Structure 1
């Protein structure tokens, strides 16, 4: 019997996806941070690749998929989509397809809820303790499946092809008067949308509104324009007000 080890490839701009992933693996194994370009890496067959990313408009962020493609192998993989309580639509299928394209066998998948990154009153406090316990149980179930006597079989996940058309969020974080140009946001932006020499600016052509800059600014200087935030919160309160629960596919 093969002893499998975790390798987590994570795109987690504001931390929710990372928290879920850590609960699934129990904090074990290596982590590849997809918020920075990943080196081309072959993955051993004795490794379980856990690919996890947030859902943006029913899709997986393109930059996460591009960097995930640097990993290749023939072993088992698990796809995890984390969404802000509205819907994950085609994201889990898109992530699973990306893993298959890399040569992996997707033997498990899951969708979890995390606090919405743009409208934090939606799914506030998620993942909560129940979510993390569910994630831990899912991780154990994956390892049990790998250790079992039956041949590994791929899982089917919800979603449609062609994937949902998603053109991105039409607004982006902006720096306010309290910005001191410390440059932290520029150094941590996953897509290089904030110029290092002028961190009060945001390149709208590059920005994917992942909200990392807002979440890590030590002075709370970067925010979404108030009208856009209010409209988004109102829409999500109507469409995503009822708490959704984790879904597993094994």
Structure 2
């Protein structure tokens, strides 16, 4: 059986995973964003193949995704590790994902680093993965399927120990919220109050931007002054085109 396991707050990671899964005719999808799911119920077998895709948050795997993956039993299943990043750098995300998968009993055999539209500063890598990326990633899907059938090991770039996670916490605000509650259901960590969706628990929020992407009224946003500061700091590193990478 082929499984596509994703943690995709704003859609870029899921889109990338879907393209890299194109060579498999059938798949079972597992959404790591669903906070109510019991991920300890997922047990895999050696004959299974699992494509596991996560975004890079400050050069690391999101802690929430790691926690949920750690509940699974890999059972020797072959794993394809995919990291999706917003045109800056993915740094230690791939090796951290590799280590997490191995610790859960998976066997990484291949992977990819894919560029997608930045989740906060959306003008960077806007629209990616685009049509050109889609052709490339679908072609890579065939190569990854062949590698999964062949087996063997894979080497990923990155450092151990991993870099210290140092992203600036930025909880989205919702001053013009209409109270539809869509953000409450989509938040992967339960940081938004069901009684008052305008409120965000800053101690829980991981700035994944899922609520901002999902808001039908475009009410949720990062403070403009803080956003301008982040753009000034990260803008030079986000400029220019980064290329996708395949690892076999």
CA distance in 2, matches of 1:224, 1:180: 17
How big is each residue's C-alpha offset from its partner over 1:61-112, in whole Å with a ceiling of 9 and x where there is no partner?
Answer: 0100111122222021010000000000000000011111111111001100
**SS of structure 2 residue aligned to 1:81:** strand
Q: Over residues 211-245 of structure 1, what are the superposed CA-to-partner deviations in whole Å (9 max), with x where a residue is unaligned?
A: 01000101110000001111222333211101101
1:46 Cα deviation from its structure 2 partner: 1.9
Where does residue 169 of structure 2 map in the other structure?
170
- Maintained 8 Å contact 1:122/1:236: no
Name segments (4+ residues, structure 1) moved above 3 Å.
Answer: none
Q: Judge conservation of contact 1:168–1:208 (CA < 8 Å) in 2.
A: no
Residue 218 (structure 1) aligns with:
216
Q: Within 2, Cα distance between the matches of 1:235 and 1:210? A: 19
Counterpart in the other structure of 1:48: 49
Q: TM-score scaled by structure 1?
A: 0.93
Answering whether residue 242 of structure 2 is matched by residue 249 of structure 1, we say: no
Root-mean-square deviation over aligned CA pairs? 1.3
What is the CA-CA distance between 1:134 and the residue it aligns to? 1.8
Q: How many angstroms apart in 1 are the aligned matches of 2:31 and 2:213?
A: 17
Query: Could you say what secondary structure the match of 1:121 adopts?
Result: coil
Q: 1:1-250 alignment to 2 at 5 Å? A: 5-26=1-22, 28-36=26-34, 37=37, 38-72=39-73, 73-148=75-150, 152-177=151-176, 179-250=177-248
Task: Give CA-to-partner distance per residue, 1:156-176, whole Å, 9 cap, x none.
Answer: 101111111014432210002
Q: In the aligned structure 1, how far is the partner of 2:67 from the partner of 2:59?
A: 17
Count of matched residue pairs: 242
Offset from partner CA, 1:171-199 (integer Å, 9 cap, x none) = 2100022x111111011100000011111
- Counterparts of 2:58 and 2:50, CA distance in 1: 25
Mapped to 2, the partners of 1:30 and 1:181 lie a distance apart of 33
Is the contact made by 1:8 and 1:49 (CA closer than 8 Å) also made in structure 2? yes
**Aligned counterparts of 1:106 and 1:74: Cα–Cα separation in 2:** 9
Structure 2 unaligned regions, length at least 5: none
User: How many angstroms does 1:45 deviate by?
Assistant: 1.9
Distance 1:147 1:16 in 2: 27
Shift of 1:145: 2.1
